[in-house]
Amino acid sequence: MFKKFTLILVLSVLLISLVSVFGFAEKLTLIGPWAGAEQAGFMPVLEAFTEKTGIDVEYKVYRFEDLVTMLPAQFAAKKTPGDVIFMSGTEWMVKNAKHLADLSDVINEGDFVPGTLVSKVDGKLLAGTFTGKIKPGFWYSKSFFSKNGLTVPQTWDELVTLLQKIKMIPGIEAPIASGDGTGWPLSDVTEHFLVSFGGPDLQKDLIAGNIKWESNIVKGVFEKLVFLLKSGYFSEPAEWTTILKQWEKGEYALYFMGSWITGMVGNPDDLGVFSLPGCEGMVFGPDYFNVPIYSKNIEDTKKLAAFLSGKEGQTVSASLGGHIATNLGVPVEVYPTVDRGVAELLKGVQSLPDLDDTVGGEFQPAFWDQLKLLWVKPNRLDDVLKVLDEKMP
Amino acid sequence: MHRKATFTHLAIFILPALLLICVFVFYPCLRTISLSFFSEGKFSLHNYYEVLKSRDTINLEGFSKGFPLGTLLHNLLWITIHLPLTIFLGLFLAVYLKNVKGGSIIKSIIFLGMVMPMITGGVLIRFIFDKNIGIVNEFLKLFGFIPKTWTAYPETALFSLIFGSVWLWAGFSMILYSAGLETIPKDLYEAAQIDGASSMKMFFKITIPLLKPITIVVVTMTLLWELKIFDIVYVATMGGPGSASNVLALQMYTYAFKALNFGKSSVVAVFLAVIALAVSIPMARSAGERR
Amino acid sequence: MKIKTYKKIIHDSLAWIIAFIWIIPFLGLLMAAIRPMDELLHGWWNLETLNLTFKNFIGAWNHSNVPLGQGTVNSLLIAVPATVIPVLIATMTGYGFSRYRFPAKRSIYILIILMLALPQQMIAVPIFGIMNKLGLINNYFGLIIVHTAWGLPWITFFMRNFFTTLPVEVEEAARIDGASDVRIFFNIALPIATPAIVSAASLQFTMVWSDFFLALILMYSPEKLLATQRIPLMRGVYFVDWGLLAAASILLMLVPILVYTFLQKYYVKGMIGWSSK
């Protein structure tokens, strides 16, 4: 009796281990940073992939900063926690080039909006491009504007006049709401100023480290921002989702935010957006993913990579709203109405990478922290710029 | 009195703990010390030099321009404000609540601040100093102050954390002093009263001196707590804005796990350890005296 | 007589006012947790509209990416072993130090005491390295070991002090009757030490439960994060909401507060043990 029991036990353990090793081997793992509502805007893409190919994909949430800590050890042990990993920062990609698979055989350069594919490293394409979010400018409520006789500014002077006018409206705490997540969107507003008044090349040079933060060009741009800060046109930094509610209630008129805001408000059709006058570039943050070479199922993973970057995957994502495609094959009709307008904005301007996401490392949290300081103490501009230069890699 | 231990005794009673401590506490400490002395593969004092002269640690410009003053000065400031307040509050509360009806409930309420995880302590501090929903601003409005979120401004961020931490930690010294008060024999007070001593005199000549050993413990434990502050700052301000509320423990973490500079992080850790050890000497001596 | 009673009433009332002032922040937190955001936007002390709801607690417990329910389970999985193991081991070690002589005893003891002052920052980086080599990063076993090792010095100190107050006569008598040392420990010393053990255990449990720094270094998988780690994640990175954050904080506090409430006597004795020994 005892022997029989042991036999059954051993067999079941063997069976379970076999099943867990082989039975689920078909499943791929994808790691991304989105959770909650943002995750809901991504899962249908994976579901569409499974429907098409029959391959299951398990989604896991990891923040970029945790991945940065965890991946080196995993890669060194020739393992990977995910077959497809959404990661940020070209610096990271270049550093880990030898662990990443070449995706040139499944991703075709010509299919994408220029500038949205990562540069090749030693002739290899190490990251695939998914859809992205634009940070176009200041969002406002169209009904609020028409009720108060406000118009979209075309020049710097018109902007200042507009802000002055808004400040006088009763019920307004401050014309522009300053959202503070862990430091962004303050960084997004700042980058928008740099691009609008310094030009797209300035953004690229800052990222590459070719220009110092303390240089006259950069300082000049910041001084415009500081002028608005000192005039009290910006609010004190507040939790970005709390202030979103207050903005909807009319306590603030303008809110600088990324295109994902369309999915977060009660009435997206009332939304309008304008960029700073003279803006010729826009921060378009596509999401990039890598495929580590240690994936257990490279074949299927490459299929997933092709799907995500390809027309099909991006179409699903775009249709859910809040995302803009990088793949040229995605027709503009699939976008929900308000996103169509945003996609139009992207035409005719240069698409640029997000500065602090790209530089990353110690610079990013310092950038956020210094901007929080600048917002409440605009007269400390010189100190802030000095620290930014210190923290650049 | 003490029996000589045989090998078996040692193996069962002493060895397991000793082994674990050596491997997971003692060795890492030595390693951290050694890491602090290595820069670019060579033995050097470069890390110490860098950390000490860094504006992260000591920022003398802060005296004219405003916070940040550097982590070392921030922790010092924390001690300067928090320690005396803790001692006085604790003593006052212990004495004041001594024979109050329902006093033990009141003491428990005050002690709650100690029982909760410091992460929630930080959330509470951020919360009470908020511009719109914070109770401190509401109170200050009565005196004509304009509300603002204390944790968002460099000149008030650190102070909000310090005062918040006084509220959290007061229960500790209160409980210790309460216990101490219980141990003072009543006859001493009775005898003094017969001699015509006022309550003030009794307090200063009897209570305080007899509470000295407890005071040493309160001071030491409070100092150690003030040096190691991490959770509160992490969740309330993350050391900001502009490093205005950065503290040594957080600086160590940032150097190690954000900048991946283990040399500098080890230097900060060593500083902390040295100061902590120095601070503990009086208490260790006091404990040794009573062996 | 009457004046004395009046004085006492005033004194006691003031004491209760102090208690009320002390509890105000908690009240605020509770308000934020049970009232909708719109009511709180301009001060939770405004009680005109009072729509109470528990949805924040449910939301925090089942949060879509950092559910506190899962976090609580994880924290328990760490805190219970990380309390039981060091308390057991350290009790034996404390007993050993209080009863036996052995070479280098004094030096070893002093070394252990020195470790009481150390900040966790002192071991952080090497521990990460060790755990990495052992493959125990992001593994509960690793975190339990670190908490155990970290708790051993203070619990040893504590228990050793306790045992020195225990007269040896009973143990001596048992030895004369032929009992072995181990038996004496388990059958005589340990039962008497129960109150001290409960004290140490309640303190250690609270410390491990409340730990954030060690968890921050060793745990990162979203599903494995401990309860304390989930609190900062609810603020700022993803969709943040004071109501949720407040509810989550309250849930996190509940466990140590419960421990304190039920084991108050031991808890307090434990803290005082530092001073009267």
Taking alpha carbons only, the member of A370, A353, A393 closest to residue A222 is A370
- Chain A closest CA to C234's CA: distance in Å? 11
> What is the model's pLDDT at position B25?
94
A250 in Cβ contact with A317 (< 8 Å): no
Helix (H, G, I), strand (E, B) or coil at A85: strand
With CA atoms as reference, the chain A residue closest to B127 would be: A239
> What is the model's pLDDT at position A26?
66
User: Cβ contact (<8 Å) for C22 and B21?
Assistant: no
> What is the model's pLDDT at position A84?
92
Mean pLDDT of chain B: 87
Query: A236-249, pLDDT tens digit by residue?
Result: 887 766 777 778 77
Kindly state the percentage of chain A with pLDDT values over 70. 91
Give the confidence band of A20 by pLDDT, cuts at 50, 70, 90.
very low
- Chain C closest CA to A182's CA: distance in Å? 5
Mean pLDDT computed over B197-218? 84
**Does the structure show a pLDDT above 50 at B289?**
yes
List, as ranges, residues 257-276 from B with C-beta within 8 Å of C.
257, 262, 265-266, 268-270, 272-273, 276
Measured from the Cβ of residue A148, the count of other Cβ atoms closer than 10 Å reads: 14
Q: Does B147 touch chain A (CB under 8 A)?
A: no
Query: A203-255, pLDDT tens digit by residue?
Result: 888 988 889 999 999 999 999 999 999 998 888 887 766 777 778 778 888 88
- Burial level of B190, CB count in 10 A (0-12/13-18/19+)? exposed
The partner residue sitting opposite A369, judged by closest CB among B148, B149, B242, is B242
With CA atoms as reference, the chain A residue closest to B157 would be: A373
Residue found by looking up tokens 């082994």 in the block: B19
Supply A258's token pair.
Answer: 């990324």
> What is the model's pLDDT at position A23?
43
Mean pLDDT computed over C135-145? 89
B133 in Cβ contact with C44 (< 8 Å): yes
Report the DSSP pairing between strands A128-135 and A174-177: unpaired
Report the DSSP pairing between strands A137-141 and A271-274: antiparallel
B264 in Cβ contact with B47 (< 8 Å): yes
Give the confidence band of A24 by pLDDT, cuts at 50, 70, 90.
very low
Least trusted range by pLDDT, from A17-31, A62-76, C222-236? A17-31
Mean pLDDT computed over C108-118? 87
DSSP A95-159: HTGGGB---TTT--GGGB-TT-SPPPBTTB---EEEEEEEE-EEEEEHHHHHHTT-----SHHHH
How far apart, in whole angstroms, are the C-alpha atoms of residue A141 and residue A177?
A: 13
> What is the model's pLDDT at position B80?
95
Query: A331-342, pLDDT tens digit by residue?
Result: 888 888 777 877
Give the confidence band of A343 by pLDDT, cuts at 50, 70, 90.
confident
Q: Residue B203 gets which letter from DSSP?
A: I
Mean pLDDT computed over C232-241? 60
Dmax over Cα atoms in chain B, in whole Å? Answer: 74
Half-sphere exposure of B33 (CA within 13 A, CB side): 9
Taking alpha carbons only, the member of C37, C57, C35, C56 closest to residue C47 is C35
B60: left (phi over 0), alpha (psi -120 to 50) or beta: alpha
Q: Does B241 touch chain A (CB under 8 A)?
A: yes
**Does the structure show a pLDDT above 90 at C206?**
yes
Task: Spell out the residues 6+ positions from residue B198 whose beta carbon is closer than 8 angstroms to its own.
Answer: none
> What is the model's pLDDT at position C257?
92
Strand partners, A140: A272
The partner residue sitting opposite B149, judged by closest CB among A236, A361, A383, is A236
How far apart, in whole angstroms, are the C-alpha atoms of residue C82 and residue C76?
A: 9
Mean pLDDT computed over A122-135? 86
C249 in Cβ contact with C225 (< 8 Å): no
The partner residue sitting opposite B28, judged by closest CB among C126, C182, C259, is C126
A32 in Cβ contact with A61 (< 8 Å): yes
The partner residue sitting opposite C137, judged by closest CB among A38, A39, A73, is A73
Give the confidence band of B6 by pLDDT, cuts at 50, 70, 90.
confident
Q: Residue B23 gets which letter from DSSP?
A: I
How far apart, in whole angstroms, are the C-alpha atoms of residue A372 and residue A366?
A: 10
> What is the model's pLDDT at position C144?
95
> What is the model's pLDDT at position C238?
40
Mean pLDDT computed over A46-60? 90
> What is the model's pLDDT at position C237?
42
How far apart, in whole angstroms, are the C-alpha atoms of residue C262 and residue C277?
A: 24
Mean pLDDT computed over A156-171? 89
